[in-house]
Amino acid sequence: MSPRMRVDDLVAIDVHTHAEISASGHGSLSPLLMGASGKHFGGKGHRQPAIAEMAAYYRERRMAAVVFTVDAEHATGHPRIANEEVAQECAEHGDVLIPFASVDPWKGRAGAREARRLLEQYDVRGFKFHPSLQGFSPDDRMAYPLYEVLEEFGVPALFHTGQTGIGAGLPGGGGIRLKYSNPLLVDDVAVDFPELRIILAHPSFPWQDEALAIATHKPHVYIDLSGWSPKYFPPQLVKYANSLLKDKVLFGSDYPLISPDRWLADFAELEIKAEVRPKILKDNAVRLLGLAVDEKEES
């Protein structure tokens, strides 16, 4: 039986972490793209912890974490880490880990069937999309059967937005097209699937204002703050997080690319209202992911 998450005991919920290596040692990205990403974030690459290590790391800090990989086989030719493996390993550490899945939108209706199976047979709580890495526009109708399943099951879709460190510095950016990660391309998804919960990941450079506009206009669109140190947040993002979007902004680190320790240390220096901090760090995620409901049902 999966250990139960005690939400009240948690100090924070990190909604954006990466499972970058499988139990067999298979990486989520090719060595070339992984190396470029590591240099972009830290100059010397970064360590790839196994899921069990991630659990221990977050448990020690009294935090929970959403964990996912990215299925981008069509665009990259690189085999994915199996969603089933991520879900099963997270279930073994259900006190601190929350599994998301990833299905390549290029799989069309076959991908939608896979998503339904994952939702019915595993405790998958959401799906991750990386339009630039997966090589698709979020408003492409080929992805709509997949969105239909997510909306039906009431689980969120998390979209990478803005510039990405993947492919940074490589000739041609490693084939990664930034245009697909413009958050405005997600606006059509929010219109056509009005009950789908959507998370726009990261400060969306260079489209921060677009992301803020969508999140204020569409009631089920959220923003996670991963991938950047808070000391570099654009001032308008801080302003909206403190006011109009105080119930729709989420703590995310991008671990292991950025550690929650570093993120939280810089967040402590940010001018965020005292009553808003707990919303960003935990409360908004609890509500979005339905964690409070689960705990009541299990108690």
- pLDDT digit string, tens, across residues 59-107: 999 999 999 999 999 999 998 999 999 999 999 999 999 999 999 999 9
Per-residue CA distances from 262 to 84, 254, 255, 257, 271 (Å): 31, 11, 10, 11, 17
Q: How confident is the model at residue 1 (pLDDT cuts 50, 70, 90)?
A: low
Indicate if the alpha-carbon torsion angle 225, 227, 230, 235 is positive or negative.
Answer: negative
Q: What is the DSSP letter of 106?
A: G
* pLDDT, position 113: 98
* pLDDT, position 279: 98
Task: Look at residue 293 and tell me whether its pLDDT is greater than 80.
Answer: no
Task: Look at residue 36 and tell me whether its pLDDT is greater than 60.
Answer: no
Q: Which residue has the higher pLDDT, 19 or 168?
A: 19
Per-residue pLDDT tens for 242-281?
999 999 999 999 999 999 999 999 999 999 999 999 999 9
Please name every residue paired with 18 in a beta bridge, in sequence order, or none if there are none: 68
Average pLDDT over residues 174-192: 96
As a whole number of angstroms, the distance between CA 69 and CA 7 comes to 24
* pLDDT, position 166: 81
Task: Look at residue 167 and tell me whether its pLDDT is greater than 90.
Answer: no
Beta strand residue intervals within the chain, DSSP E: 12-18, 63-68, 97-99, 127-129, 157-160, 198-201, 221-224, 249-250
Task: Look at residue 295 and tell me whether its pLDDT is greater than 50.
Answer: no
pTM passes above 0.85: yes
Spatial contact of 200 and 223, defined as CB atoms under 8 Å apart: yes
* pLDDT, position 233: 97
Indicate if the alpha-carbon torsion angle 211, 264, 47, 158 is positive or negative.
Answer: negative
As a whole number of angstroms, the distance between CA 1 and CA 90 comes to 12
Task: Look at residue 298 and tell me whether its pLDDT is greater than 50.
Answer: no
Q: How confident is the model at residue 40 (pLDDT cuts 50, 70, 90)?
A: low
Per-residue pLDDT tens for 116-152?
999 999 999 999 999 999 999 999 999 999 999 999 9
Per-residue CA distances from 78 to 45, 73, 243, 247, 263 (Å): 20, 5, 42, 37, 30
Q: Is the bond leading into 256 cis (omega within 30 degrees of zero)?
A: yes
Spatial contact of 202 and 231, defined as CB atoms under 8 Å apart: no
Indicate if the alpha-carbon torsion angle 252, 254, 259, 262 is positive or negative.
Answer: negative
Spatial contact of 123 and 99, defined as CB atoms under 8 Å apart: yes
Please name every residue paired with 65 in a beta bridge, in sequence order, or none if there are none: 14, 97
User: What CATH code is assigned to 7-294?
Assistant: 3.20.20.140
As a whole number of angstroms, the distance between CA 264 and CA 244 comes to 22
Spatial contact of 67 and 19, defined as CB atoms under 8 Å apart: yes
User: What is the DSSP pairing of strand 157-160 with strand 127-129?
Assistant: parallel
Q: Shortest CA distance to 175 belongs to which of 21, 1, 36, 27? A: 36
Q: From the CB of residue 78, how many other CB atoms can be counted at a distance below 10 Å?
A: 19
Please name every residue paired with 157 in a beta bridge, in sequence order, or none if there are none: 127, 198
